[in-house]
Amino acid sequence: MGNGRSVSHAFYNGTGWNTLNSHSYEWGSGGLVSTVEDQNRFLRAWVDGDLFDNPASKTAMSDWAATGDPGNYYGLDMWHFVADEWGIPNLGQLNGHSGLFNSLAFYWPEQNVTLVGTINANEPPAGFVYLMIDVMFALQEFGAD
């Protein structure tokens, strides 16, 4: 990529997915290549209301519908997690999304913090959730303000 940054390499069951021509031949993944900085900029613009000219777009993204799993809600391409409903008190809520390969980009409103990153492994499934929870507790302990 330009400006000296390289794309992280993703593997699943020993197959390097970066070498595949299409990740969407069986489903519509709508792939996205981005940097951590760009994902953070996107989340901040979304939170601050600077992302869309039409406010109805942000409303659609944050009109949370229940998924049937406690603490998990979904808007238009955005997840909303409620930690109390997972049995984890005092963490609050998260808004954002994860990608196919355990990437994450979430906003934590209670602390006004964005959590953006990648985990280059597919074990444990949904491992990014455990990482985010650990980071959230650490930030609370050290004062995220």
Q: What is the DSSP string of the chain?
A: -GGG--PPP-EETTEEGGG-S-S-SSS--------HHHHHHHHHHHHHT-S-SSHHHHHHHT--EE-SSTTEEE-SS-EEEEGGGGT-TT--EEEEEE-TTSEEEEEETTTTEEEEEE-S---STTHHHHHHHHHHHHHHHH---
pTM score, two decimals? 0.73
pLDDT of 35 above 90: no
Residue 4 lies in a domain: no
- Asked if residue 21 has pLDDT above 80, the reply is no
Q: Is residue 28 part of a domain?
A: no
Please confirm whether the linkage preceding 125 is cis (ω < 30° from 0). no
* Residue 109, domain member (yes or no): yes
119 and 132 Cβ atoms separated by less than 8 Å: no
pLDDT higher than 60, residue 137: yes
pLDDT over threshold 70, residue 36: yes
Domain that holds residue 80: 33-142
Using 50, 70 and 90 to split pLDDT, how confident is the model at 44? very high
Residue 77 clears pLDDT 70, i.e. is over it: yes
pLDDT on residue 111: 92
- Looking at the domain assignment, is residue 118 inside a domain? yes
51 inside domain:
yes
**Residue 19, domain member (yes or no):** no
Query: Edge to edge, what strands does the sheet with 72-74 contain?
Result: 65-66, 72-74, 79-82, 93-98, 103-108, 113-118
Give the model's pLDDT for residue 15.
75
- What is the pLDDT at residue 1? 41
Token readout for 76 is 């238009």
User: What is the pLDDT, as a whole number, of residue 70?
Assistant: 93
Count of domains observed in the chain: 1
Residue 2 — pLDDT band, cuts 50, 70, 90?
A: very low
